[in-house]
């Protein structure tokens, strides 16, 4: 029987509970969202003892199936005031699964203002007070924890940098990868602030001596996994993914006129060739040294989309440089250099900040003259304020909406309190529908219409509703509930028969293909139910007004999917 590990930071109690039957079908985001709905007071202050930080692995975590170990982190969000889930690659998911934990719930709040680490291994769960780790950045923190580690190999470390400790709403939860560095981030929605509010600086997962994850029908599973992994390797997009990572789409999105540029005022970036996938690959391979492409973040991943970006001397500068970061910290800030983007990425990763939220926030400061688009030195200086724990740093680290409030800016590129990722809704209208109607606010991973750009015209309001609805349900069930990476969706996203075969082989169940759709709908409805109980109705499903008014070059389009249509997205 899989377990839920419950850790109460008020009284330092640790409990292992059997996974309740009602949660059996749910993993990853499906499970965090169910637990958040069932256990968190919906209108609580997200930083109070009434909130809970829930981590969960997907149904397929810890197996030989490639790219299935993503770790979901959920809570009521201090950024959005609504339900939130963010997930991340890295090794923690696989290790938790091997230790037989489906989920980890951190609740309560310590009386003492200090730092704690939680050590989880095969035999024990320990909470240790560690004042000495206070206000360390993720990199130094995890290096120290690796050094202290006595188990086999590198532990899986889940951590927060200064931003999480300061409870900043743009703080993510970092997860170490197979290199042992905290290069993966469950970045969005301030999950790091919730972790910080619980006094937890790091969770160290050591699976030394753990048994393999149980498989009900080992043979069927192995065969299916092999087929799945091969399909990923043979996938025509695979080579681009390995070479360029998510950055492979940079030039394409700019070409479509949908990449955030100069504070969401254009959809294409003149210097796109300086920051796109080709340039990234060229610089990494050209500079050599510690720079690398084609790396895995999770053990056994065959996609290997990760990179280490080196500086001009070949020394590691940042890992990983991703598309969303390029769009928000790059073109949206008017920055046309990967070296600059790399430096800002490193800072965000070290402090534990969401690069999307920070890019949107910095660019927005150009509206009041606090930042000039393209001014790298100033961008860095502003970001460093967070590391300095200055009041300004605290403001910026709260993300776009709070920064706008404090500094008096009224053009705010966020939906439900969360900054828009790297697809302007006027240039990719399906994503506008997703941003508006996802319980998470502006979240591309909740249903990204980019992949459907050839079948549904991104610039017309037609068919966006149906597209976003279908994507939102599918991604919840096929990807986020199973623990799969978005890049690993091709073999199963339209073959539910195959997906249930894999799941059934693991658990000995008898799921039918239609159950995948049912589970997806249940997850989305669970999240909407939480938001309803937190005080929100369907009118909350709206984009900022300026997107309806201000024409976005080069296509000079506005967002024009009618509200009446938007309200139908979740009618099912």
Instruction: Single out the residue of 406, 456, 493, 558 in contact with a second copy (rule: CB under 8 A).
Output: 406
Assess 116 for contact with a second copy (CB under 8 A): no
Segment near a second copy (CB under 8 A), from 135-143, 258-266, 336-344, 405-413?
Answer: 405-413
From residue 314, give the alpha-carbon distance in Å to each of 60, 142, 221, 246. 37, 22, 42, 22
Assess 532 for contact with a second copy (CB under 8 A): yes
Distance of alpha carbon 247 from alpha carbon 318, whole angstroms = 14
For the CB of residue 562, give the shortest distance to a second copy in the complex, in Å: 15
Q: Phi/psi at 389 (nearest 5 deg)?
A: 60, 30
Strands (E), 435-490: none
Q: Which tokens belong to 473?
A: 């349900």
Three-class secondary structure of residue 127 per DSSP? strand
Within residues 29-68, the interface with a second copy by CB under 8 A covers: 41-50
Exposed/middle/buried for residue 35 (C-beta within 10 Å: 0-12, 13-18, 19+): buried
Count of residues of this chain found to bind a second copy when the rule CB under 8 A is applied: 48
Within residues 149-178, the interface with a second copy by CB under 8 A covers: 166-169
Instruction: Single out the residue of 540, 552, 559, 561 in contact with a second copy (rule: CB under 8 A).
Output: 540
Q: At what angle do helices 513-533 and 496-507 cross, to 10 degrees?
A: 80
Distance of alpha carbon 455 from alpha carbon 316, whole angstroms = 40
For the CB of residue 55, give the shortest distance to a second copy in the complex, in Å: 21
Assess 353 for contact with a second copy (CB under 8 A): no
Q: Which residues pair with 129 in a beta bridge?
A: 116
Q: What is the CA radius of gyration of the chain?
A: 22
Q: Is 372 or 405 the residue whose CB approaches a second copy more closely?
A: 405
Segment near a second copy (CB under 8 A), from 215-223, 374-382, 491-499, 540-548?
Answer: 540-548
Segment near a second copy (CB under 8 A), from 86-94, 474-482, 487-495, 537-545?
Answer: 537-545
Distance of alpha carbon 273 from alpha carbon 252, whole angstroms = 11
Instruction: Single out the residue of 18, 123, 219, 539 in contact with a second copy (rule: CB under 8 A).
Output: 539
How does DSSP assign 75-106, residue by residue? Answer: EE-TTTSSEEEEEE-SSHHHHHHHTTEEEEEE
Three-class secondary structure of residue 348 per DSSP? helix
Assess 412 for contact with a second copy (CB under 8 A): yes
Within residues 188-207, the interface with a second copy by CB under 8 A covers: 193, 196-197
For the CB of residue 380, give the shortest distance to a second copy in the complex, in Å: 18
Segment near a second copy (CB under 8 A), from 227-235, 261-269, 278-286, 390-398?
Answer: 390-398
Segment near a second copy (CB under 8 A), from 56-64, 227-235, 274-282, 398-406?
Answer: 398-406
Q: Is 509 or 546 the residue whose CB approaches a second copy more closely?
A: 546
For the CB of residue 197, give the shortest distance to a second copy in the complex, in Å: 7
From residue 317, give the alpha-carbon distance in Å to each of 70, 141, 344. 24, 17, 10
Binding site for a second copy (CB under 8 A): 41-50, 78, 109, 166-169, 193, 196-197, 390-392, 394-395, 398, 402, 404-412, 532-537, 539-542, 544-546
């Amino acid at each position: 029987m899989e377990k839920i590990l419950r850790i109460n930071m008020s009284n330092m109690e640790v409990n292992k509970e059997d996974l309740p039957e009602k949660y059996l079908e749910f993993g990853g985001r499906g499970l965090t969202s169910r637990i958040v709905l069932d256990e968190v007071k919906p209108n609580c202050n997200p930083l109070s003892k009434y909130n809970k930080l829930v981590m969960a692995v997907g149904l397929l975590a810890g197996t030989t199936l490639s790219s299935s170990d993503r770790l979901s982190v959920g809570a009521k969000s201090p950024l959005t005031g609504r339900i939130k889930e963010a997930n991340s690659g890295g090794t923690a998911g696989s290790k938790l699964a091997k230790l037989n934990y489906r989920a980890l719930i951190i609740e309560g709040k310590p009386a003492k203002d200090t730092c704690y680490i939680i050590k989880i291994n095969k035999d024990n769960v320990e909470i240790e007070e560690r004042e000495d780790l206070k206000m360390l950045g993720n990199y130094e923190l995890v290096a120290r924890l690796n050094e202290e580690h006595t188990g086999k190999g590198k532990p899986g470390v889940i951590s927060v940098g200064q931003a999480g400790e300061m409870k900043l709403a743009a703080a993510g939860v970092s997860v170490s990868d197979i290199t042992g560095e905290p290069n993966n981030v469950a970045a969005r929605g301030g999950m790091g602030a919730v972790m910080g509010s619980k006094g937890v600086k790091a969770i160290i997962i050591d699976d030394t001596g753990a048994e393999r994850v149980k498989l009900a029908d080992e043979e069927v599973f192995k065969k299916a996994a092999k087929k799945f992994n091969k399909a990923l390797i043979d996938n025509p997009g695979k080579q681009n993914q390995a070479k360029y990572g998510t950055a492979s789409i940079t030039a394409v999105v700019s070409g479509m006129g949908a990449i955030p540029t100069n504070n969401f005022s254009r959809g294409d970036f003149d210097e796109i060739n300086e920051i796109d996938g080709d340039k990234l690959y060229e610089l990494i391979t050209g500079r050599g040294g510690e720079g690398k492409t084609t790396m895995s973040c999770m053990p056994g991943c065959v996609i290997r989309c990760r990179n280490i970006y080196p500086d001009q001397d070949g020394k590691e500068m940042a890992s990983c440089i991703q598309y969303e970061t390029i769009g928000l910290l790059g073109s949206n800030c008017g920055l046309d250099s990967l070296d600059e983007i790399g430096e800002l990425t490193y800072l965000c990763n070290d402090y534990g900040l969401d690069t999307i939220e920070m890019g949107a926030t910095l660019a927005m400061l150009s509206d009041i003259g606090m930042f000039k688009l393209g001014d790298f030195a100033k961008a860095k200086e502003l970001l460093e304020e967070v590391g300095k724990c200055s009041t300004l740093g605290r403001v910026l680290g709260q993300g776009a909406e709070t920064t706008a409030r404090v500094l008096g800016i009224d053009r705010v590129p966020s939906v439900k309190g969360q900054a828009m990722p790297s697809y302007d809704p006027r240039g990719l209208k399906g994503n506008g529908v997703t941003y508006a109607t996802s319980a998470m606010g502006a979240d591309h991973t909740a249903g990204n219409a980019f992949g459907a750009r050839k079948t549904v015209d991104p610039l017309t309001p037609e068919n966006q509703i149906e597209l976003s609805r279908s994507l939102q349900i599918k991604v919840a069930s096929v990807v986020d509930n199973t623990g799969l990476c978005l890049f690993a969706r091709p073999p199963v996203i339209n073959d539910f028969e195959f997906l249930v075969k894999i799941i059934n082989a693991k658990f000995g169940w008898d799921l039918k293909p239609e159950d995948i759709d049912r589970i997806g709908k249940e997850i989305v409805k669970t999240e909407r139910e939480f938001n309803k109980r937190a005080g929100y109705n369907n009118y909350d499903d709206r984009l900022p007004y300026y997107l309806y008014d201000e024409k976005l070059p080069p296509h000079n389009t506005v967002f024009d999917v009618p509200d009446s249509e938007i309200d139908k997205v979740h009618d099912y």
